[in-house]
Amino acid sequence: MKTKELRPINPTPQGVGISAEYINSIIDRIEDLVQVAESQKPIAGEGINIAYTVAGAFISLK
């Protein structure tokens, strides 16, 4: 992943101001996660079937 782990913010009695920079780091992290997720798709090679189900990808031989 290109981004680093996000650190949680700490609450204060006055509330917390969240900077645009921090929100953007969350957005970058999510987009990074999306890229990783999209790249995880198993691709069927020769002689292989892949059934994509809600539960996951089920691999079988043709």
Residues that bind another protein (CB under 8 A): 18-20, 23-24, 26-27, 30-31, 33-34, 36-38, 40-42, 48-49, 51-62
In whole angstroms, what is the distance from residue 40 CA to residue 26 CA? 21
Q: Which two tokens stand for residue 1?
A: 């992943």
**Closer of 4 and 36 to another protein (Cβ):** 36
| Nearest distance from C-beta of residue 11 to another protein, angstroms | 15
In whole angstroms, what is the distance from residue 60 CA to residue 50 CA? 6
| Nearest distance from C-beta of residue 13 to another protein, angstroms | 19
